[in-house]
Amino acid sequence: MSRTPTLLATDRAMWRKLKARAHPDAGGDHELFVWTGSLEALVCGSEQSRRPEDRREPGEPRCQAYREAGEEPARVSYPRGTDFWEATRRALWHASAIADGYGRLLSLLEDCWPLDGMWREQERGASYKRLAAIGHMAGMEAAERSGWYRVAKSMPLSDRHAGHILSRLERRAP
């Protein structure tokens, strides 16, 4: 009998490969991707499966924990000093100027107000992971999601904007 050497069930690189294959953008299934993440949390325990910002030391900035974990999410460019109100107005103008699916998504920002407690999300670009989640919830195919990323870059949308759109879509879901 021959034995095939395998890595431990807690190997991070193997979990990354598995989740990459299960991800909907790679031809996988959203439900399977979410289930895989839950299984990773169960198998690997709480420390490995916790989000990087939860692993940070008290007083350590959230972005520092991501950088040290090597997991800072990719984001659209969001120029330093961009006025959140102005970016929101620009997105709403775009929503009213075009009548496609992207405009419908941007119109969900009509009640997106700046919040002091979310200043960091209002000062950085939207993560592609969050933009992909919006695209999936809106039923976009891969090519449409690419277009959505281009729209988010051209606004530009902040992480707060993307989070607001995502929460509005989640409230509408059955």
Compute the average pLDDT of residues 50-72: 47
pLDDT, residue 87, reads 92
- Selection from 87, 98, 93 nearest residue 162 by Cα: 87
CA dihedral 82, 84, 85, 86 (to 10 degrees): 30
Token pair belonging to 141 = 């195919």
Q: Is the dihedral of CA 46, 48, 49, 52 positive or negative?
A: positive
Q: What is the pLDDT of residues 117-152, one digit of tens each?
A: 888 899 999 999 999 999 999 999 989 999 999 999
Count Cβ neighbours within 10 Å for each residue of 25-38 and write b for 16 or more, e otherwise: eeebeeeebeebee
